Structure 1
């Protein structure tokens, strides 16, 4: 965890000022501005192995940033003064892991939740959220917050963030499920980082989860619909490829569900099921 705040290049600072001015205007008019929450930017990501048993080891370096900086940096294809764009200036398509931290101001936790009766929980984002409204997404999607997820200068605990998301979005407590880290994933188009998790509910069924959520959840406004899909390779792949879903996914969600299936059923089984479905389309 680094101490120095992210700074935008001089030719992008004006974009941040526009966002600040727009939200100041909304506040002055008595309307609801966007909350400029404290976030993390990814400075670097490296994978190595431990010396003794050669287990994979991830080194993730984070730097402080905020939501307005993230919104400014998301304008990857906006023209700069010289006619170029942040994407063309600062990103190498042949080396996606190398990017300046100011273009990587998003790190979220995504969880694939499977109920005790083998149903995959799939959420649709609310039309009221700023980023990607109405798209279909992971069971739980929680952005890391410097205000909530770190204590002093300590780095955030990714498992703790996932558990916070489970509690806030689905009203599920840590003793009710097992939780496993599947992978770190990068959306190279938007430069969004994610830690992908798999959560298996111990006793709570799909019906039980529906009943519990009907009594209220902390972050009710984030989701507008929840679907329950049989957690089997053929059923999940068919669901992902449905005509009314295939172009309406959050970028990282299909990868999460694929990895969850592979984790439970094996890569060979999942890829065979996917190939059979694609041949029939």
Structure 2
């Protein structure tokens, strides 16, 4: 593909379009600007509806890989990469998974995760090298996130991951994205022109954040990391979380505050063990045994050991 052809394709993307009705944006009142910004984000809902069926498929497919011991690996440059890093960082404290189970590969490495390194999004070879270093296999799921759907770093990474047999998922904000052709599952949320033309950290970034939130959250629900809507695998790493853990045990079991606290102490801080102890009327050791091999609370209560 010639540079002129690639430039024309980029200019034709919805996320790169310029809204002529906003030519006087910088001259409008602050009240008008706030209303515009709020109304802009209402359009994200329709874009998310467009990608809902593909998101369903992605949740189920990623869950299946992770049940076999695979990882969820995000791949992105710029804003998508930083959103991915945020989502990955929240999974260990919320769902008790080791940090290496949900990983963000960001263009520019550790620097790119916290600071703009715009040149790195064109470095496809760097994405391949990063996946090499992670040792990506067919057990893993690799999710590439890109507003345009044609970011070289993400395209090259998805191609490499698919060649290794990994599940590949594309998250893009344009229809007919290049990454959609590369990946097995394509989540397209066409958010259209931005309030500030081309600034895809706005609507496009909001849609990406919601997709990643939904994907990781619902995969963890499917993996038994919740009991109903209670996060029974959270890490009780500070005072606030210890209090939350006790309240979760109370909500899950109907136990008093004192009984929940006592069960947590016997369970050595494991909310999941404490819940099974109280609902199953078993010891901490028995509850922990029932929860072995990744069982959910419901499976542990049905198992009888």
- Pairwise same-fold verdict (TM > 0.5): no
Q: Which structure shows the bigger proportion of residues in strand conformation?
A: 1
Rg larger in structure:
2
TM-score (norm: length of structure 1): 0.31
**Could you state the TM-score of these two structures normalised by the residue count of structure 2?**
0.29
